Structure formats: structure tokens, C-alpha cells
A and B are shown apart, each in its own frame.
Chain A
Amino acid sequence: MCKAVNYKSCFDIIGPIMVGPSSSHTAGALAIGNVAYKLFKGLPKKVVVRYYESFAETHKGHGTDYAIISGVLGFAADDPRVPKAIEIAKSKGIDITFIEEKDDSPIGHPNTADVYLEDETHSIRTIGISVGGGIIEVKHIEMDGFSFDLQGTLPVCLAITKRKDFKPIMLHFFAKYNVKVNMAKHFEADGKYLYEFDLDSPLPTAGKEELSHIDDQANIILL
């Protein structure tokens, strides 16, 4: 069967350990917020979340709001602060807006959230879908002058750099850690390159540590 496989690990099925009440709407929403956090690198001044379909209908009952904000703040799914995330964000002066969109999801999935973060210096946008059991796909990213769609199955590694020769360096790095790269592509904008690597399995802990030391000039993000 040739299709993207989202559930690669037993722990995608039994797990995550999380604050209730919904794995799609709470744990999954938190995971989408967490992607925004990783892309933004730090706390924003402003957050705008657009919900579609099932997310729009039921976000209030499922704690989706505090879950997404928990992700934006960098909390883990089982962090006891999760239900208090909105108050915590407000106390840090973060302006938050939730919008229930009436239209169908632009991605064609009932659990779609579009998260926009900004501060004085930069902004990012990401559209994620929560596919069940806390697992998500990242469908669209806007950052650093790039705007692109992804197939979405995680893990995905992004690298933004001025170097035109970065792909073999990264492929060599993943090979060293026995991580198969399902797809590698790159985009160009304003003399910069964004490389996307869709990984078949998670990077071992040692690899994660080494990732940030590959190139000081490159912005490398593991989703």
C-alpha cells in the first residue's frame, strides 16, 4: 500500500500521556501549536488561530484553545499547566485571537487549525491537521520569506541557509544516524534556500543534539 504512514510507532497508538479531554482536539492541537513555537523560536506578541470544521464547532468543549496556546508556549502534552495556558500567555502580554471559520478546511480535513504568530521582528504561519490520537500533519508553512505546502507526515526537518550546497551535508548527517529520508526538496527566496527533509523515523537523541551544531549560520528546525 503506497500511502503516507502517520502512525509509525506503538507510542503513537498507546500514548501520548496527556491532559484530557481529547487526543485530536487537545493533544493534537497542542502539537500544532508546538510546531508554531518551533518555527517562531521564542514567544510571540500576538497569536491568531483560525479553526475549521470540527475544530470550529467543538474547540471550546475540548480545551483546544488552551491546548494550542500551550503548544505556542512550548509546554508538553502532560504539563499540568496546560489548562491554565491562556492565563499564563496573557500574563506574558501575549494578545490572542481565536476565529471560527465557516468555510470548509482549505486542507480538506475536519480538524484543521491555522496558527499565525508575530512580534516586532518577524512572523510565521502554519496550517496543521490533527489526524487522531494526538498525531498531526503539517500542511503549510510561511516563514522567513518562504511559503510552501508539505505532504505533512512528521518528522520533518527544515533548514534555512544561504548555502546552495546544504542538501548533501544534511543527507550525509541523516545517513550517519540511520534515518531514511523519504523526500528532500528545496525552495529559493531572496538569495536564501529552505531545505525540507521528510524523515522516515525519529532522529536518535544524539542526532538531535548534533543537529544544532551542523552549521551556526543555518536555521535548522526539527518538527
Chain B
Amino acid sequence: MYMSIKEIVNTANERQISISELAIEHEMKQNQASREEIFEKMKKNLITMENAVKKSVEGEGVFSLTGLTGGDAVKIAKYREKKRTLSGDSMMAGVQSAIGTNEVNASMGIICAAPTAGASGIIPGVLFSIKDKLRLTHEQMVHFLFTSALFGMVVANRAFIAGARGGCQAEVGSASAMAAAAAVEAAGGTPQQSSEAFAIALGNLLGLVCDPVAGLVEIPCVKRNAIGTANALIAADMALAGITNVISADETIDAMREIGRQMPRELRETGLGGLAGTPTGLAIKKKIYGEDVSNKSLITS
């Protein structure tokens, strides 16, 4: 079990193999399964991601039951057709996939958690943004998921990936860092550069609170998937340009864990503080649940 990013980078360097290969080896050993079985299982996750993105732009798009979110992936797709995006088409392609995936999630559609459902748009967002530019095969896309998974495992075991434990930094921050590391490998960067991209991406999102309006995975979750995606792409580019960090990836994870511990519970997925606690946020909560739900202690369904 890899408990540090440093261990992953060192092992990959010593054995002269990619991080995705290390992940596949780990998985074969862990599950006593063949390479083909492991690969097929991850391929199913990739197909689920592709299907969610496809679904998000059918017709007018998908909408949640509350109507609070939905249809934005379609807006971005139409906007991209004008070919005048400020941040570039591949960036907006990623943002579209990220938002689309999370719209499907909010509508109780089928998604692949990566590492969570609330942050499920970021890994597909980054992957589908770079796949054309890097001409990634389906096999290479599966490798991308393995690489991101191995980085994510370190975060999950060393800190946490749940908003209720560590705020949104644990979800969108982790997903963004995992995607950045995998994007570097897909682009031909070194394991150390993956580690640098990971540290940049996570470091940029430290302190991000989890403040879902009415406790729903909608506002601000859907848009934060867009930011997690853009942040990952920037972090990957920075690392590929040779930028390094003074604070290592492992220490950044530990900082994330400590920040989560210091974060008040109102800002850890309780739907009480932050955007959820604004007058509009509270009004939405009241509109959805009727009277003040906090006074209600027993509900029989």
C-alpha cells in the first residue's frame, strides 16, 4: 500500500515504469486478478464517464428534480460553436464535460464516483479535454484513470476525500490534484512532474469549504467541478513547463488534512454555512422542505 506520493515517484523511477503500471500491478495483487480483468473493470468506469457526458448534452440537457441546476453543459456546447472562447476550446471542452457529468449526478443519473460523486466531473473533464490534443487511445485513457486512482488512494488513506470530513478541498481539491498528476503522465511528463502538478493543484484549492445549498449536491458543486478541471489543466501545464514546489505533495496533503480538522462543522457538508447559509440559500432550503426543517426531529416516510 502506497502511503506517500514520494514512495510512488521513487518506485516508478527505480523500476523505470509508469505510475499507471504501478497502479495496475497493485490492483492485480490486491484482487488476485488478471491484468485483463482489472483493465476491463476500469474500462467500465471510463464508459460510464463517457455516457454521462453524452447524456448531459442531449436535447436541452439534464435538470435536477429541484430545477436548481441543469442545462449549463448545453449552453457551453453552443457557446463553443462560436469559436470565440476566452480560455480556449480544449479548456472549455473540459469544463463542459465536468459540468455535464455533475448535472447528470445532480439529476440522480448514473455516474462514476471519482473520487466522490460531488467531484465526479473533474477527472472526466480533464481527460476528455486532453484526449484529442494528445490523441489518446482508449487504452491510454484507462491508464489515465489508474494513475489518478493511485494518487487518490494516498489522499484518501492519509487524509480524507469526504466533504463532511474535510470540506470541498477534500473532494474537488483531491480530484483536481489526481487529474493534474494523470494529465502530466498522459502528456509524457515524468513521475516527479506528476507529483509537482498534484501539489500545485491541491495547494491552489486548500481551504475550500463544503457549503451545499439545502444540502443538495447542486449549488455550488456543479460549478466547482469546472474550477477543479481548469485548475488541474493549469497545474499540469505548469509542472510540464518545469515549475516545482517548495512544499511537497505529501506535505500538501497533510496540510489539507489539518485544515479539514480545523474547519467548523458548518462548512463541512452540513448545508448550514457558506453559500448554504446566505439569505437566498436559506430561502431555497425552506422552499424545498417547507417549514424550518431543523425543528423537525422525526420524519416517517
Known: A54-B270, A62-B215, A204-B32. A14 touches B145 (CB 8 A): yes
Q: Please tell me if B107 contacts chain A, counting CB pairs below 8 Å.
A: yes
Q: Name A10's closest neighbour in chain B (CB-CB).
A: B149
Q: Mark A49-63, 1 if CB is under 8 A from B, else 0.
A: 000011001111111
Q: In the complex the two chains form, is A23's CB within 8 Å of B113's CB?
A: yes
Contacting residues, chain A, for B99 (C-beta < 8 A): none
Q: In the complex the two chains form, is B269's CB within 8 Å of A13's CB?
A: no
Among A11, A21, A27, A100, the residue within 8 A (CB) of B299 is A100
Q: Please tell me if A134 contacts chain B, counting CB pairs below 8 Å.
A: yes
B278 to chain A, nearest CB (A): 16
Q: In the complex the two chains form, is B160's CB within 8 Å of A131's CB?
A: yes
| Interface 9-residue window, one of B23-31, B226-234, B240-248 | B23-31
Q: Please tell me if A86 contacts chain B, counting CB pairs below 8 Å.
A: yes
Which positions 269-293 of chain B face chain A at CB distance < 8 Å?
269-272, 288-289, 293
Which positions 75-95 of chain A face chain B at CB distance < 8 Å?
78, 80, 82-83, 86
Q: In the complex the two chains form, is B48's CB within 8 Å of A12's CB?
A: no
Greatest chain A CB density within 10 A among B45, B104, B178, B296 is at B45
Q: In the complex the two chains form, is B149's CB within 8 Å of A132's CB?
A: no
Which positions 250-280 of chain B face chain A at CB distance < 8 Å?
265, 268-272
Q: How many residues of B contact A (CB 8 A)?
A: 71
Among A18, A62, A102, the residue within 8 A (CB) of B113 is A18
CB-based A-B contact count at 8 angstroms: 207
The SS class assigned to the A binding surface is mixed
A155 to chain B, nearest CB (A): 12
Among A7, A19, A59, the residue within 8 A (CB) of B156 is A7
Q: Complex: how many Å from CA A29 to CA B265?
A: 20
Contacting residues, chain A, for B105 (C-beta < 8 A): 20-21
Q: In the complex the two chains form, is A58's CB within 8 Å of B117's CB?
A: no
Q: In the complex the two chains form, is A6's CB within 8 Å of B157's CB?
A: yes
Q: Mark B143-163, 1 if CB is under 8 A from A, else 0.
A: 001101110110011101111
Greatest chain A CB density within 10 A among B3, B44, B112, B158 is at B112
Q: Please tell me if A123 contacts chain B, counting CB pairs below 8 Å.
A: no
Q: Please tell me if B94 contacts chain A, counting CB pairs below 8 Å.
A: no
Q: In the complex the two chains form, is A58's CB within 8 Å of B269's CB?
A: yes
Q: Complex: how many Å from CA A129 to CA B68?
A: 29
Q: Please tell me if A114 contacts chain B, counting CB pairs below 8 Å.
A: no
Q: Please tell me if B115 contacts chain A, counting CB pairs below 8 Å.
A: yes
Contacting residues, chain A, for B114 (C-beta < 8 A): 13-15
Q: In the complex the two chains form, is A102's CB within 8 Å of B297's CB?
A: yes
Q: Complex: how many Å from CA A99 to CA B161?
A: 26
Give A contacts to B, CB under 8 Å.
1, 3, 5-24, 26-27, 53-54, 57-63, 65, 78, 80, 82-83, 86, 96-100, 102, 110-111, 130-135, 177-178, 201-202, 204
